[in-house]
A and B are shown apart, each in its own frame.
Chain A
Amino acid sequence: MIETAEHRETPPLARAGTLVELEGLTVDYGHGERVTRAVDGVNFVIRAGEVVGVAGESGCGKTTLANSIMQVLRPPAHVSGGRVLFRGENLLEKKPGELRKFRWRNVSMVFQSAMNALNPVMRVGDQFVDMMRAHERVSRSGALRRAEELLDLVGIDPRRVRAYPHELSGGMRQRVIIAMALALQPELVIMDEPTTALDVVVQREILQQVRALQRELDFAVLFITHDLSLLIEFAHRIAVMYAGEIVEEAPARQLHREPRHPYTVGLMQSFPPLTGPVVRMTGIPGSPPDLSSPPAGCRFHPRCPHCDPGDPQLYARQTTERPLLREVAADHRVACHLVEDRGR
């Protein structure tokens, strides 16, 4: 049986400054018998001006989550339950025309391979002009001037508005996309693995710039990546996803100091450190489940080191009952049977 949002604890009521609120968001791929539930009853809040990270492995639903906020899910994916509220308005009820205005103006998005999304036969500046004039009444020269300012902001020589995409390196093209995403001063920028295809040095340069811009312009960022150690450095708050669910959510430093979910702990032990003694690490045994037939009970239980048939009572709960997200400390929520037991 699949639980619906009603069975979950609802997050604290929208606090002041709540920008996006997901309420029991459920996204399916396909219909009927062959349905794959990529996001399953997720409750999540993005506050204005904060950098929120979503970490997880491939297939955990993190990109689907991002796409549903931007409302760019493509069939066979569709929202089959819950609501996506942006400043209190349900995006799922908006008409296509309204959504077109909403995208880029309110929420913009940078994809992993976004640097390949630039039109190869158009100068960079003209692509800015097209985008801006689709949303605003602005003259061509005005839009070009704005494009120059934006390029300067992300560390590219403003004269490069006249460049074609192939004249720029991968890192520069990714910066161009980030500049475009900021052009209409959206309140939220979604970044889905924006630096994964880039070298570490370029990655760090870009993240430094995004953070500086974020402080200056005060937009919120939803940052999606498989790289938990990067998020701990970059985000204010982190949600860890596993098999379509959020299994832990906490302020970044708190998560680093005191991860509570065995999956989060396992993920942290999957990144060898750069300092300190070199010790053998274990990672996590097994691999993530196939979402067309997820394990019953806690979805992590087949890989969990604390799931032991020796304790029949706990084992029965772990294998049949889905754990709820519960607050274990201020702003720190965990979905794990072990944590519930100890917490009482």
Chain B
Amino acid sequence: MRVTTNLIYDQNLRAINNSQSSLSDIQTQLATGKKLLRPSDDPVGASQVVRLTEELDKITQYKRNVDLATNNLELQETSLRGIKDVVDRARVLVVQSGNGILSADDRKALASEIEQIRNQVIDLMNTQNAAGDYIFSGYQSQSQAFEFNPSAQTDVIKFNGDDGTNDIQLSDSVKIRTTTSGKTLFEDVPARLSYSIAATNGATLDTSGVKNQGTFDRFHQINFDPVNAINNRYEFTIVSNTQIDVRNAGTGSLIESIPFNSGVNTQFEGIEMNISGSVGESVTLDLNRPEKKNIAETLHTMMLLLNDSALNPQALATGIDDTLVGIDNAMSQLSRENSSIGSRLNIAESVNSSLLDSEVTNERARSAIEDVDYAQASSDFARQETALEAAFASFPRIANLSLFNFI
């Protein structure tokens, strides 16, 4: 091919330009540490980097969420543990108060300690977090959860919140509950199931009491009708000197025939009664509607009972039964929640460790796409540099060759 002067210059200049631009690209890669400088360098990779970056930022946020959730749950755990400790002590005191040899002053001393415990429980039920929100108020965290009004006739302890709970998102698919409402935890505690004597038609009822609470509870749970009160009435009719028929007043059906001996204790479903009477006379008994009683209220009631100087032993015994059942039910509610908190803390921890794993994996994937391999880039740079230097060195030698120099 005929080589013209312009051709020589053009070709050399082109080569130098190309070399310089490659060199400049590699230098930018070395300086920024990224081989993906613009989306056009690797379009599919750039798109993946955008997505991976989002994943990593989400993981950072989720880790923060896990920390917050853990803090919330631990605060609740501490409060609940505090309550459990003092109520355990209260239980001991209540059992102690059943001791027959105690005097009224001794009982008053027990009552004042129970009063202190009651106050502590109310304080713990009104726990506030660092921001001043009441943690057991449900959604109405600005209002104090429990109000104590000793002069009220009913509902000495009033709950001012609602039963709302909050969730926190720990990962794309895991959400855990991080609050508990005081209503479910403290208010929704069943009191002791009981019965009341509606009427005695001719017969005399000397004593009656629940001897076997477990059997009575089972009977109550199966047979209580929340809608029709009449179905909760049972008539104990003396049909003969040795037998009492127990009938349901609502359905009229015979439930059971129990052995009877006038003036001697007889048993029915855990209730021990001492009935004296003749044939045809009856006693009517109503199953009481299940009630819910707050633990602080239970303690308050016990305290009032112990402070009463004119206390009859029967009332004390019933009171102690009520209180012990109330305390046990409350404690089981708390320990259920405690174990739920424990399992949620475990979930948070395991989510946290899988978040950390994901973070490492995603970081590595992103780095593989966008970070430069310094070894490769440095050797490319050296090679390109050599090429450019060669182009620079050879250019003048060709440029100076001209016939005009010799004419």
Q: Do A and B bind each other?
A: no
